[in-house]
Structure 1
Amino acid sequence: MGVANWVMIWTAIMPLAVILYYFFRKKYKDQRVSSTLFWQERMKELQASPYLKKLQHHLLFYLQLAALLFCVLALIEPFNESETLAGNDFVFIVDTSATMLAGSPTHFEKQQAQMKKLASQAGGKPVTIVTTGVSPEVVIRNEQNVERVEKAIDQLAVSYENAEMEQTILFADTLATNDSTIIHIFTDYLDRAALANKTGQSYQVHGFSEKLTNVAIRQLGLSETDKGTRGIVQVINNSETSMNATVRLSSGSFEKAVEVKLEAAEELLVPFDELPNYKLWQAELDVSDDYAADNTMATYLAPPVNAIVIDSALHELIASGFRSLALDVSLAEATQLQPDAGLPLVTNQRDLLEATTPIFMFGRNDENPFEVTGQIETKPHPLFTYASLDEVYVSQLYPPFKGYETIATIDDHPFIQVSPKGDIVVLTDVQLTDWPLSPSFPLFLWSAMESLSDDAEFLGFFQPNEHRSMSLASPTGEWEIFRDGAYRHSYIEGSGPFVAPNEPGIYQVVGDEKDMTMIVQLTSQEKELSAGSSYVMGQSKAVQDTVRFSFVPFIIGIILLLVLLEWEVYRRGIATR
């Protein structure tokens, strides 16, 4: 509360002048007195309280005095101040990655409360909410109703997929209407470098500086030995203190547990020997930390493929790469390749893509390459789990295949594609790249073999909410997805790409005549917690503005009402004379 014009306080003498005028004005009234005895009594009554009686008999005076007092109040301009967000409209970027589930209450719940608080301070200005991910989504657009904004905030949920914050920020920039738009980013951690070169908008980052404890299962691997199945669980302590934990490996009714102690920032390989020959296994970490989403991991032990057939027309480096994986490599002429042999084929023959056997295509024999420059950009895919292509150089590419999923590009040109039935296509020749000199080359070949040799009962490994083109070949084309016997959703072939569930775990994909298992896993980025901070970057450094709410319009309305009442009192007084 306050006033903006104390100088006009001198006008308070006006109601005082009216009061004095009513006190001392002379007003004569004819009055008949029947006797001098009664006259004396009448005079005593008037002299007892002359000023009070004058006030008691003048309603018009009260109304005039009240109107003058409100006029004085209006002249000094009283107001009330309230805090509101700086800017004319706002874009809320909400991090929905798995790490937002850390803490108790979780970071996501705290950010929801913060968003609702800021929405209430928006003062009716437009609010847009965008969620993060590979495909950012607009939840609401330019909404001015606070209740609808709060309802949309309450309905937000964690999607478990990578935030892809830089991509989401670029998308949010396109939603900004002008330079006065303020973009609020609600996350756990965001490096300032992500906003260092952005000067067109103003950004307010809401992060968390608290350091939480976390022990995660980084990897789970299984292999068949002479004594049965051997498993290795890689556990890492991302905390600054030592942690005690129990690592459990289970499949069906079988379970085996190992007690471990991890020092700060320690990585530990926990072996499990002489396991039964089951296919589906799950590792679970029993530990008291602040983040539980990375405490479980599943894997599937697919039958190993020990042999592969390679087109002899391809470069020798391809065969050398597969031999380094301890595979039985056979070379064959292009005319001798058997498309229905069941073994994976490595070739550049375009016609063999129609075969039923798995195909790993390196180059094309039906097109000419064109020159490209630039770095390789990859999309999240299991083929790149262990193979990084950051330092690989490619000079030329072949034209892509229509209808295939592109998982790696160079200058926006497809570099690596996956066909609907799972064939892998690398659109270059070995001699056109230095890839064989990189350690990622044999790792990529190994990942490709794992992908091509998937079990018929195993659909594959997926990331949360991953979109993938797949041909499941069901008679009706309808598949139902279950987890722990509970129905989740359905997928209709031909309606679009197959979308994996957003929550990590083991799922059953059930068709008319087929039942397959799929595993949804967190990415390695979602298994690391980082402490951040809140800061402001961009054009404006102001976080909040002060808005004045003036009472003058309401006071003027009261004054007009009092004037109407005065007129009515005056009119009635004249009428009764």
Structure 2
Amino acid sequence: MFFLNYKALWATLTLIGFLGVYFFKRRSKDVKVSSLMFFSALKTPAEGGQKLTTLQTPLILFLELLIVTLLILSAAAPVMLDNNSKIPLAVILDDSYSMTATAKEDSKNARHRGLEYLKNNILNKQYYRINLIKGGSYPELIGRHDMTGAEAGVYLDNWRCTSKSADLVSAVRFVKEAFDKHIQVLVITDTPAETDSDTQMAKLNWLAFGKPVNNLAITGANRYSLGKTDRCFFEYTNFSDTPVNLHAIVKSPESNKVYDEIKTQIQPMSVRRSIINFPEQNSEICAEILADDFLADNKLCLPSIKREKVKVRIKTNSKYLDSLLKKTVEALGTGVLVEKDEKILITDTQEII
């Protein structure tokens, strides 16, 4: 037997109060008499040995104790557990990146707080049949149906929060369609409940463990060749509700040389762009935001451009012009001189040779 609300058993301490009322109660009563001559007969004679007195308890005491005990047991909700009597529970886990956002003054993110809640309030209860649903871009069942708390705890390691978005409304709709209509639904997320008809279930409990944090993100990047150098473009966006100081660097991981450093303040929902020339054409270039609460969108690297030189054939009637054109192609570095199978033909005649 287990109690769904075992904390109600603390109310059994009130039984001590009932016993105290009856066992330690002292009552005094005024008695009017016509003479004091009979009080001498009430004196207890001095006798040796111990005198045994039988405790007299009224029937109403036992009735009151019985009623209080039954009320306490009713509040504690005792159940006899078997596989059919366990409570079905669907736990929807927000799998988006935002669950890993950690504030500077807090060492725990929404995922950590959600796991602690599950371990302290769900996984240690033996009266649940647990179904884990990972709510990412689409709902995904983790493990098998109707797991115990110990089994569900093992499968929670697969909850990594790596999705770019979390469609929790679709996950709730999936539970309504795929499971019994009496199933209880628990949503673990970092945002308040969404206003949707599917989330207005009587047995749905939406728990948001997130805290507001500042978020700067690299939201755009591009790289293209200018011949002997590359031009790189990076875009930084402030998704916070307040102005945030941006400190970002752009460097080459291979040479560890910093090509750009940005220290500025960005207004809420505003963008800051930077353009640099990058001479290390065979190396990747990385932009990184320093000192930001949300780490998932703070670094972006652009690989080197795959350069395939264009095959060029030069055929003119002037050796001097041929020499100038060949030097031009070699100086650009984007073409290679060939005698056949060319992609580009440079000539001073209309005939295609």
TM-score, normalising length: structure 1: 0.38
Structure 1: stretches of 5+ with no match in the other structure: 16-45, 56-60, 308-340, 344-577
Task: State the alpha-carbon separation in 2 of the partners of residues 225 and 289 from structure 1.
Answer: 33
Matched residue, 1:284? 288
Task: State the alpha-carbon separation in 2 of the partners of residues 289 and 82 from structure 1.
Answer: 47
Task: State the alpha-carbon separation in 1 of the partners of residues 199 and 141 from structure 2.
Answer: 21
Amino acid at match of 1:225: L
1:347-374 Cα offsets, whole Å, 9 max, x none, are: xxxxxxxxxxxxxxxxxxxxxxxxxxxx
Matched, 1:269 2:246: no
Matched residue, 1:466? none
2:122 aligned counterpart, secondary structure: helix
Asked whether the equivalents of residues 214 and 238 of structure 1 are also in contact (C-alpha less than 8 Å), the reply is yes
Matched residue, 1:228? 229
Task: State the alpha-carbon separation in 1 of the partners of residues 63 and 150 from structure 2.
Answer: 38
Asked whether the equivalents of residues 238 and 264 of structure 1 are also in contact (C-alpha less than 8 Å), the reply is no
Task: State the alpha-carbon separation in 1 of the partners of residues 157 and 61 from structure 2.
Answer: 48
2:111 aligned counterpart, secondary structure: helix
Asked whether the equivalents of residues 251 and 278 of structure 1 are also in contact (C-alpha less than 8 Å), the reply is no
TM-score, normalising length: structure 2: 0.60
Asked whether the equivalents of residues 231 and 273 of structure 1 are also in contact (C-alpha less than 8 Å), the reply is yes
Residues 1:188 and 1:83: Cα distance change in structure 2 (over 3 Å) = farther
Residues 1:249 and 1:177: Cα distance change in structure 2 (over 3 Å) = same
Of residues 248, 252, 257 in structure 1, which corresponds to 2:254? 252
CA drift of 1:68 comes to 11
Matched residue, 2:141? 137
1:48 aligned counterpart, secondary structure: coil
Task: State the alpha-carbon separation in 1 of the partners of residues 126 and 48 from structure 2.
Answer: 55
1:356-397 Cα offsets, whole Å, 9 max, x none, are: xxxxxxxxxxxxxxxxxxxxxxxxxxxxxxxxxxxxxxxxxx
1:515-554 superposed matches below 5 A = none
1:100-150 Cα offsets, whole Å, 9 max, x none, are: 11024111101111222331686613222211234613235323x444444
Matched residue, 2:97? 98
Task: State the alpha-carbon separation in 2 of the partners of residues 54 and 263 from structure 1.
Answer: 89
4+ residue stretches of structure 1 with deviation over 6 A? Answer: 67-72, 304-307
Residues 1:122 and 1:177: Cα distance change in structure 2 (over 3 Å) = farther
The more displaced of 262-271 and 114-123 is: 114-123
Structure 2: stretches of 5+ with no match in the other structure: 1-9, 24-44, 79-85, 311-340, 344-353
Task: State the alpha-carbon separation in 2 of the partners of residues 123 and 101 from structure 1.
Answer: 29
Of residues 69, 74, 80 in structure 1, which corresponds to 2:66? 74
Matched residues, percent identical?
A: 13
Higher relative contact order (CA closer than 8 Å, sequence separation 6+): 1
Asked whether the equivalents of residues 233 and 270 of structure 1 are also in contact (C-alpha less than 8 Å), the reply is yes
Please tell me the root mean square deviation across aligned C-alpha atoms, in Å.
4.2
Asked whether the equivalents of residues 237 and 243 of structure 1 are also in contact (C-alpha less than 8 Å), the reply is no
Amino acid at match of 1:214: N
Task: State the alpha-carbon separation in 1 of the partners of residues 295 and 281 from structure 2.
Answer: 29
Task: State the alpha-carbon separation in 2 of the partners of residues 305 and 172 from structure 1.
Answer: 52
Task: State the alpha-carbon separation in 2 of the partners of residues 114 and 258 from structure 1.
Answer: 42
CA drift of 1:301 comes to 3.8
1:20-63 Cα offsets, whole Å, 9 max, x none, are: xxxxxxxxxxxxxxxxxxxxxxxxxx96257x4445xxxxx79x
Matched, 1:116 2:123: no
Asked whether the equivalents of residues 248 and 287 of structure 2 are also in contact (C-alpha less than 8 Å), the reply is no
Task: State the alpha-carbon separation in 2 of the partners of residues 120 and 274 from structure 1.
Answer: 54
Asked whether the equivalents of residues 181 and 201 of structure 1 are also in contact (C-alpha less than 8 Å), the reply is no
1:278-427 superposed matches below 5 A = 278=282, 280-286=284-290, 288-303=291-306
Residues 1:123 and 1:102: Cα distance change in structure 2 (over 3 Å) = same
Task: State the alpha-carbon separation in 2 of the partners of residues 201 and 277 from structure 1.
Answer: 60
Residues 1:156 and 1:274: Cα distance change in structure 2 (over 3 Å) = closer
Task: State the alpha-carbon separation in 1 of the partners of residues 199 and 287 from structure 2.
Answer: 43
Amino acid at match of 1:74: L
